[in-house]
Homo-oligomer: A and B are copies of this chain.
Amino acid sequence: MSVYSLKTTDKVPEPTLRRLPWYLSTARLMKGRGERYASSTQLARQLGMDASQIAKDLSFVNVSGRPRVGYTVDELIDVLERFLGFTERHYAFLFGVGRLGGALLADSGLEQFGLEIVAGFDIDPSLVGHEINGIPIFHTTEFPRKMQEYAGVNIGVLTVPISIAQEVTDMMVDGGIQAVWNFTPFRIRVPENIVVQNTSLYAHLALMFNRLNLNK
């Protein structure tokens, strides 16, 4: 049994999953400063959080702290990266090469976190047949064929206008996409076995504006 066996089959609470990247980035910073060990107390101090919360969160990943010294920084980074899925390669198609979609194709930053967008789809003749950042853009009608051609794609990034968000989602799901990363402010509906991750920048903007108003 590997030291790094991952308990990914356990259901990890979403708040924990949201906090794990904080511990990863802090561990990376500590490594950058040449530090070798990180206790949950040290992590807590740097993050302004409760040490017991951190210890509890880290109990979901198989990393074993040692008394006094805590976790090894290298092991913490390694285990968190694996646990969060950043070391695996995931392949995605992107639907809707507008402003946001085009920006996501151009930003290869997602790759270092394990997401590789291998093709974009659009119906705009000025885009189809072209490339952004080396990523080809096909006509949306070609999707089912490309799904056969590119093996291993199971994620669809949704950056289309809201008026066609559901229609494109249905097409994706019919074609075999298993997870939709939804950047639209539209609540898409999918069968139960399909994963939806909503990342609406506009919803986040609204939250921020609202809190700013409360502070006035």
A→B interface (CB under 8 Å): 8-9, 11-12, 14, 17-18, 20-22, 24-26, 28-29, 32, 47-49, 84-86, 88, 90, 98-100, 103-104, 106-110, 113-115, 154-155, 162-163, 178-179, 181, 184-187, 189, 193, 195, 197, 199-215
Contacts and interface: CB of A to CB of B under 8 A. Distances in A.
Nearest to A180: B208
Contacts of A88: 209
Contact of A99 (B9, B86, B108, B193): B108
A179 B212 contact: yes
B208 A155 contact: yes
This chain's copy number in the assembly? 2
Given A185-B22, A209-B90, A197 B201 contact: no
Contacts of A21: 185, 200, 202-203, 206
